[in-house]
Amino acid sequence: MTQEAITGAVPSLRAQRRTLRLARVRTAARWLLLVAGGLLFASVFVYALLSAVKSPADVLSGRWWPREWHWSNFKLPFEQAPFARYYLNSVVVGVSVTLLNVVTCTLAGYSFAKFDYRGRDVLFFIVLATLMIPLEVIYVPLYALVYDLGWVNSFLGLIVPSGTSAFGIFLMRQSIDAVPDELLDAARIDGAGELRILRSIVVPMVLSPMAALALFIFMANWDSHLWPLLVASDDAHRTLPVGLAAMQANNLGSSGIPTMMAAAILALLPTLVLFLALQRKFVEGVTMTAGIK
Amino acid sequence: MTRALRALIVATAALVGITACGSSNDNASKGGAENVKLTFWTHTHPPMIELNKKLISEYEAKHPNVKIAYEQIPNTEFATKMLTALSNGSGPDIINMDDVALRGEYIPKNLLAPMDAAAASKAEAAYVPGTLDGAKGSDGKLYGLPTEFNATAFAINKKHFEDAGLDPSKPPATWAEVATMGEKLVAAGHEGFNFLYLHSGWYTQQLQTLLNETGGSILTPDGTKSALAQPQSVQALQIWNDLIRKDKVGNADTASREATVPFDDFASGRRSMTMIYPWAVAQLKADNPDVYKQMEVVPLPQVDPAKPTGRWYGYYMAVNKASKHQAEAWKFIQFVTSEHDRWLTDVNFVQPVVGWENSPAAKADVPFLNVWAKAYSEGKFDEVAPHYSEIQDEIKSAVERTIFDGQAPAASLQEASKAIDQILAG
Amino acid sequence: MARAARNRTGLAFALPALALFALFAVYPMLRVVYLSLFDYNLTSPGRYVGLENYRFLIHDARFHAAFGASIFYVVAAYVPAVLLALLIALGLNTRMRGSGLVRLLYFAPVATSWVAVSVIWRLVLHPEGALNRTLGLHVNWLSSSGSARWAVALTAVWKEVGFFVIIFLAGLQNVPRELHEAASLDGAGAVTRLRYITLPLIKPVTAVVAVMAVIRGFQSFSAQVVLTDGSFGTEVVNLFIYKTAFANARMGRASAVAVMMFALLALVTLAQLRVFRRTDR
């Protein structure tokens, strides 16, 4: 092997340093692009906030920065519509649906994971099959059913049909499956009843996925528009999305823009705050929906 | 049986129990006592809502056993919500709805309760002939009493006219004049004229107004097919098209779509000319007094000034067929619709009782009374057909294709005609 | 406790959920097929019309338009969203300082409701709103057939990218670092590594993403209602079902549309899964 061949195979120190610098520049550039993109995404929220505090004349003027800061605009949604009521309804429905889901899914997950009865696998398969039935396909007869039950314009109609979810059952089943059978058997030998076992042994071991499920269900329900629009759209039962959409219909002139921006921001605050506070759980919830398909 | 199973059964029973105690939509009167609860829905027109609320408290004071729950529905969902609720029996006892919906949807679908014959004949005698037709079924029965009855006129902003070097005392008499004056107004920095682009009802009623003038129509005389593709009908959309796309007297893309204040653009002083209704005048007076001072109501421009025509529509209070308190409901309706002077004074709602234009209230409180009186004498109700809401949707799409996308009126109405024929056949 | 009794209790545990499914999922699914054969509007007992609803829809221009609107939306919104999400996830797949914060910026739209987002974007897309002002344009985004669909798709891209970033990131984190290190030592460039290591390993995740994208696309409703109310070519299938059933009181026909949509979604899902499974070999 000649000298050139050897030296040709290993790049010179200068060349190495250049490659490294190039790589660093490329990484920095990529990072800058990502940050810029992220800021672009966030700019929509900033624009909404800035518009919410402008006067109606200022909103479409083309200036980004408000001429005056009308923080009092955030009171307007409450004055122009029963906004507080919409909020309350969303919270009541959201919490109820979440609780109902956590209870039914945990019970069913436990059932499918730790018990053996005839038809268990068939039933579980049917549960999974309902994943293929989105609301959009069944909401017409579902509405007719809810009407026949007398649940139109009531909280029952808003809560009960959403009371369980295949995704939740699958998740809880998977999580509870990991609980060691020996623990359960030991408790049974000690004479504990099944509910007691569930409550004191199983649940404490699956609190984490339960929390992720609860967060996911709550946030999905907060966004629910089509079903509440159909089932409960009188002012006493309207949830936030329905109320917001209704306010929008009455506020399309330019004088209503700051009000609507304020209302929109108020409406998305809870889930945004929940997300910021519980990011990891939120991400967990989203990846879980992907995991089961 | 294990404790667990027992607990579960108790829980299920509780759920069933709650179900049975059921919805909070309770219309039945408590057995025995005379207490009656009526529900009443209207659309969202703030001045009307104010007067309704006052009338309701007065009625409740006079009839302590009656409670009336009053709900106002946003205008864009009003038609849908009303139809769904009436269709599934969850609707209110009393509705206040326009004649097109009454004649086109609710009466043919048997969703309303007719007035009894004696009361109906009394009503016929009291109201101007023809004006109750808006709430009549093909069976000739009367299904409602009018809260408002509107003819169509035109409004101009006198100050804008002066800005543009036009004479406010010589308003446009034809649509061609609207075009030429509109162009001058645009040159002076205003929006000359525009139509309203709110929900499908608005599109249809404006096109219908033009159709009445050109001699076109939505349906053939036997009502089985669409007549929109005929030359006289196309002419109506052509007028709309020429004003907005050719002569550019108004900008459809930035027009306000505020359903609660339909005439927002005129009221805010942006637009110089608009079609208008009596109730809008009252709304303007209350909300924009400075523009109100600059406003003049004049007769609707005509295609053929020698043969003026216009358009009527009315809102009527009617009773849900599924209501369990029909007699009480009618009593309330009679009360509300008999306060003619207050409707005139407070809200500028004209109730077409015989001689209304000669009442002192009219003379005192209806601005531009002579224009309105004349408009009321020329005009007719809209045509209706089964599945009218679908037809209205097609008309809205047709107008949008022409005005926003630039499709030629004839082609756009051809498409709409085909769709409407299918709707009527299906 | 005897085993049989214990298992009976276990079954009882599943009953609440099963009852809810039976009543609110299975029963309506069967009933929607049944209703599609009737002319039904909740007032009167339905009138049996057999396959008439389907026949009408096949010839109905408005149904074709709705179908086309949905396909357009799924493609125009979700193809860019998924591609963008993959790129962003690849970029964010690092332990660099501050990556957590940057991730927040992309994830945040996912944690907001469609209605609130649409209300805000209605202003962004206003002829005098942020989009036109920033780009120096005068496009009437929401009031013309040429641009309304794109505007709605843009809103959806903004809202949905973060969701897919989350999923891709989870998938990428399952690609062992050692593979990349070994490959780059062997002289493989970034693009080569992407092509031969990353992409194949995240194929299952991509399959899931594709299926979710199609389903989410067809579920779209709020954005169209708030932004355009279905005008200008944005009346997607879901909105069409709603209007047909409740604005036009044709629940039988709406059910027929729903059945067809279900069939389509099932087919597409199966096809996608098969495609991804085959190329896996």
Judge whether A200 is closer than 8 Å to chain B, CB to CB.
no
Query: Which one is predicted more confidently, B243 or A255?
Result: B243
Domain hosting residue A101, numbered range = 75-292
Same domain, A141 and A24: no
The pLDDT value given to residue B17: 45
Q: Report how far residue C134's alpha carbon sits from residue B285's, in angstroms, rounded to the nearest whole number.
A: 39
**Regarding predicted confidence, which is higher, B208 or B367?**
B208
Out of B79, B89, B419, the one facing C62 most closely (by C-beta) is B419
Task: Please indicate if any CB of chain C lies within 8 Å of the CB of B307.
Answer: no
Instruction: Give pLDDT, residue C278.
Output: 64
Helix axes of B231-241 and B200-214: crossing angle, nearest 10 degrees: 120
Nearest residue in chain A measured CA to CA from C215: A134
Note down the domain range covering C235.
52-278
CB atoms within 10 A of CB A167: 24
- For residue A26, the surrounding DSSP H or E stretch is helix A13-52
What confidence tier does B26 reach under pLDDT thresholds 50, 70, 90? very low
What local confidence, expressed as pLDDT, does residue A262 receive? Answer: 94
| pLDDT at res. B233 | 96
Output the average pLDDT for chain B.
87
pLDDT beyond 50 at B361 = yes
Residue-level pLDDT at B90: 75
Q: What is the pLDDT of residue A105?
A: 95
> Residue A64 domain-assigned?
no
Of B345, B340, B399, nearest to B369 by C-alpha is B345
> How many interface pairs between A and C have CB atoms less than 8 angstroms apart?
268
B71–A154: do the CB atoms touch at under 8 Å?
Answer: no
pLDDT (mean) for C29-44: 85
Provide the residue type at C260 as one letter.
M
- Domain-embedded: residue C274: yes
Residue C16 lies in a domain: no
Mean pLDDT across A217-231: 91
| Chain A contact present for B44, CB below 8 A | yes
What's residue A2's pLDDT?
A: 55
Residue C136: which CATH number? 1.10.3720.10
Mean pLDDT, rounded, for B197-218:
92
Q: What is the distance between the alpha carbons of residues A249 and B199, in angstroms, rounded to a whole number?
A: 10
Q: Which member of B2, B77, B88 has the closest CB to residue A249?
A: B77
Domain count, chain A: 2
Q: How far is A45 from chain B (nearest CA, A)?
A: 24
The model's pLDDT over B250-287, given as tens digits with 9 standing for 90+, comes to 988 878 776 667 888 898 888 999 999 988 888 888 88
In this structure, the answer to whether residues A33 and A92 fall within a common structural domain is no
pLDDT(C196) > 70 = yes
C58 within domain boundaries: yes
Q: Is C241 in Cβ contact with A244 (below 8 Å)?
A: no
For residues B256 and B252, give the distance between their C-alpha atoms in angstroms, rounded to a whole number: 9
Residue of C12, C128, C247 lying closest to B8 (CB–CB): C12
Find the mean pLDDT for residues B63-71.
Answer: 92
Show Cβ contacts of residue B311 under 8 Å, excluding neighbours closer than 6 positions. Answer: B151, B152, B205, B208, B209, B212, B379, B380, B382
Query: In this structure, are A224 and A121 located in the same domain?
Result: yes
Average pLDDT score over residue span C180-192:
76
* pLDDT value at residue A6: 54
Question: Which tokens in the block code for residue C86?
Answer: 């993959």
Tell me: do A39 and A133 sit in the same domain: no
Same domain, A170 and A35: no
Distance CA B265, CA B190 (A): 11
Q: Is the pLDDT of residue C279 over 70?
A: no
A 10-29 residues inside an 8 A Cβ radius of C: none
- Say yes or no to pLDDT of B18 above 50: no
C-interface mutation test, from B77, B194, B400, most C Cβ less than 10 A away: B400
Q: Minimal Cα distance from B25: which residue of A?
A: A153
Read off the pLDDT of each residue in A89-113 and give the average, rounded to a whole number. 94
- State the average pLDDT for chain C: 88
Contact B71 A234 (CB under 8 A): yes
Determine, yes or no, domain membership for A67.
no
Which residue in chain A is spatially nearest to B255 when comparing CA positions? A253
Is 50 exceeded by the pLDDT of residue B23?
no
More confident residue, B194 or A153: B194
A84 in the same domain as A42: no
Q: Do C16 and B111 touch (CB under 8 A)?
A: no
* Whole-Å CA distances, C259 to A134, B80, B121, B417, C256: 11, 23, 50, 28, 5
Delineate the domains of chain B, giving CATH numbers in brackets.
Answer: 36-149+313-369 (3.40.190.10), 153-311+383-425 (3.40.190.10)
Domain count, chain C: 1
Confidence of residue B16 (pLDDT cuts 50, 70, 90): very low
Q: What pTM was computed for the model?
A: 0.84
The pLDDT > 70 percentage for chain B reads 92
| Alpha-helical segments (H) within chain C | 3-21, 27-35, 52-58, 61-73, 79-92, 99-107, 114-124, 130-135, 148-172, 177-185, 190-193, 199-201, 203-218, 222-227, 237-242, 251-278
SS (H, E, C) B64-90: CCEEEEEEECCHHHHHHHHHHHHHCCC
Is 90 exceeded by the pLDDT of residue C257? Answer: yes
Closest CA to C273 of C212, C198, C194, C197: C212
ipTM of the complex: 0.87
Least CB–CB distance from C261: residue in A137, A245, A279? A137
Q: What are the residues whose beta carbons fall under 8 Å from the beta carbon of A176, sequence distance 6 or more?
A: A106, A109, A110, A113, A114, A202, A206
**CA B154/CA B264 separation, integer angstroms:** 15
Position C37 in a domain:
no
Does residue C7 form part of some domain? no
Interface probe, candidates C60, C62, C63, C139, chain B, greatest B C-beta count within 10 A: C62
Q: What is the pLDDT of residue A52?
A: 93
Q: Are residues A104 and A169 in the same domain?
A: yes
Q: Between residues 348 and 367 of chain B, which touch chain A (CB distance below 8 Å)?
A: none
Cβ B88–C42 below 8 Å, yes or no?
yes
pLDDT of residue A281: 82
* Best-predicted range by mean pLDDT (A47-56, A69-78, C152-161): C152-161
Cα Rg for chain B, rounded, in angstroms? 24
- Residue among C35, C105, C116 minimizing CB distance to A141: C35
Looking at per-residue pLDDT, the higher value among A232 and A123 belongs to A123
- Closest residue, chain B, to A154 (C-alpha): B23
Q: Find out whether A194 and C6 touch, Cβ atoms under 8 Å.
A: yes
Is residue A176 domain-shared with residue A239, that is, in the same domain? yes
Tokens found for residue C242: 């709603």
Single out the residue of B313, B320, B317, B312 nearest to residue B145, CA to CA.
Answer: B317
- Whether residues A14 and A89 share a domain: the answer is no
Judging contacts by C-beta atoms under 8 Å, the chain A residues touching residue C96 are 31
pLDDT of residue B7: 52
- Other beta carbons less than 10 A from residue B45's beta carbon: 24
| Per-residue pLDDT at B303 exceeds 90 | yes
Give the pLDDT score at C175. Answer: 79
Q: What percent of chain B has pLDDT over 90?
A: 56
Q: B397 falls in which pLDDT band (50, 70, 90)?
A: very high
A69 is a domain residue: no
pLDDT given at position C281: 46
pLDDT of residue B76: 73
Predicted confidence at residue B68, as pLDDT, reads: 94
Q: What is the pLDDT of residue A61?
A: 82
**pLDDT given at position A280:** 83
If asked whether residues A267 and A232 sit together in one domain, one would say: yes
CATH of the domain at A94: 1.10.3720.10
- Could you tell me which chain B residue has the CA closest to the CA of C230? B397
User: Are A41 and A86 found together in one domain?
Assistant: no
Residues A37 and A84 in one domain: no
pLDDT at A147: 84
Neighbouring chains of C at 3+ CB pairs under 8 Å are A, B
Average pLDDT over residues A111-122: 89
